[in-house]
């Protein structure tokens, strides 16, 4: 069984259909890159999976269970399918350590000691153990994003969602975040990545989905999608290349 199955997702905003019948599946241990032009519906798709947005139609099966059902505990789902945001979303008034502990305490009901131990482990994993007592405002963008990744990892998510995790960063800092993501990939963490960094997507993703005008234009093993690009994907790649 696929860990995640998206079936016939539709979503409109103010009468404009943004997702028009989107279907795909994700296997455990896989890294899926979602690529597409600005406005093609990538973030909307991720936000639906994370229950930040409710689709108008369709199903999202997580481990076979429909997470759009009425009785689902949304916070619990969000801890199991955890999102890393472009803008980090760290609490400015809390230390790095406290940022990594709060959801563990509130959602997973872990003891203070356990939450702290797990937070420190994951901060070490992203190379920031020494920043545990620092406040977010004293960190670089790349460091903030690595804290946000550590915070996500603390929830033992079954799937990590990344929405343009490096697009708010200076080029120097993009590398350090990409390296952390590569490491997670090698450990077999299941991920969905929305990015405009095409070369990185090509390197890290086992599968690629190209969203075009709200529809799945291409979906398959990354190698194949890039080697035999559809017309729309080829022109997207040419445009992205001209921007970089």
Ligand X SMILES: Nc1ncnc2c1ncn2[C@@H]1O[C@H](COP(=O)(O)OP(=O)(O)OP(=O)(O)O)[C@@H](O)[C@H]1O
What is d(CA 244, CA 238) in angstroms, rounded to the nearest whole number?
A: 10
Residue 222 interaction partner, one of ligand X, Mg ion, none, beta carbon < 5-8 Å per kind: none
Reference 17, options 49, 51, 41; nearest CA is 41
Closer to ligand X by CB, 124 or 241: give it.
241
Q: Which stretch binds ligand X (CB under 6 A): 20-28, 40-48, 129-137, 198-206?
A: 40-48
CB atoms within 10 A of CB 49: 23
Binding mask 9-38 vs ligand X (x if CB under 6 A, - otherwise)?
----xx---x-----------------x-x
> Which parts of the chain fold into alpha helices (H)?
42-49, 74-80, 96-106, 112-125, 141-153, 171-186, 198-204, 222-227, 231-243
Closer to Mg ion by CB, 43 or 190: give it.
43
Binding status of residue 41 toward ligand X by CB under 6 A: yes
Q: Are 210 and 236 in contact (CB under 8 A)?
A: yes
Classify residue 118 by burial, with Cβ atoms within 10 Å: 0-12, 13-18, 19+: buried
Binding status of residue 197 toward ligand X by CB under 6 A: no
Binding status of residue 44 toward ligand X by CB under 6 A: yes
Closer to Mg ion by CB, 154 or 174: give it.
174
Q: How far is the CB of 167 from Mg ion (least distance, A)?
A: 9
The residue with tokens 């131990």 is: 117
> Which one of 43, 143, 152, 190 is in contact with Mg ion (CB under 5 A)?
43
**Radius of gyration of the chain from Cα atoms?**
18
Rounded to 5 degrees, what angle do the CA atoms 141, 147, 149 make? 105
Q: How far is the CB of 23 from ligand X (least distance, A)?
A: 17
What is d(CA 35, CA 40) in angstroms, rounded to the nearest whole number?
A: 9
Q: How far is the CB of 191 from ligand X (least distance, A)?
A: 17
Binding mask 116-155 vs Mg ion (x if CB under 5 A, - otherwise)?
----------------------------------------
Binding status of residue 43 toward ligand X by CB under 6 A: yes
What is d(CA 3, CA 192) in angstroms, rounded to the nearest whole number?
A: 12
Closer to Mg ion by CB, 43 or 152: give it.
43
Q: Which residues bind Mg ion (CB under 5 A)?
A: 43
- Interacting residues toward ligand X by CB under 6 A: 13-14, 18, 36, 38-44
């Amino acid at each position: 069984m696929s860990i995640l199955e998206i079936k016939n997702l539709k979503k409109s905003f103010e009468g404009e259909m943004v997702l028009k019948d989107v279907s795909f599946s994700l296997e455990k241990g896989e890294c899926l890159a979602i690529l597409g032009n600005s406005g093609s519906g990538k973030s909307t798709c991720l936000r639906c999976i994370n229950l930040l947005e409710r689709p108008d139609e369709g199903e999202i099966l997580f481990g076979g269970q429909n997470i759009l059902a009425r009785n689902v505990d949304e916070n619990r789902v969000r801890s199991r399918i955890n999102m890393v945001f472009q803008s980090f979303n760290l609490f400015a008034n809390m230390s790095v350590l406290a940022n990594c502990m709060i959801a563990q305490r509130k959602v997973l009901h872990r003891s203070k000691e356990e939450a702290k131990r797990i937070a420190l482990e994951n901060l070490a994993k992203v190379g920031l153990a020494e920043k545990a007592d620092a406040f977010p405002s004293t960190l670089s963008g790349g460091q903030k994003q690595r804290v946000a990744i550590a915070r996500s990892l603390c929830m033992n998510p079954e799937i990590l969602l990344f929405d343009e995790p490096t697009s708010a960063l200076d080029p120097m800092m993009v590398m350090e975040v990409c390296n952390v993501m590569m490491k997670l990939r090698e450990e077999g963490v299941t991920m969905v990545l929305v990015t405009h960094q095409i070369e990185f997507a090509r390197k890290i993703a086992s599968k690629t989905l190209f969203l075009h005008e709200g529809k799945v234009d291409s979906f398959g093993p990354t190698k194949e999608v890039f080697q035999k690009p559809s017309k729309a994907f080829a022109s997207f790649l040419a445009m992205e290349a001209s921007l970089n």
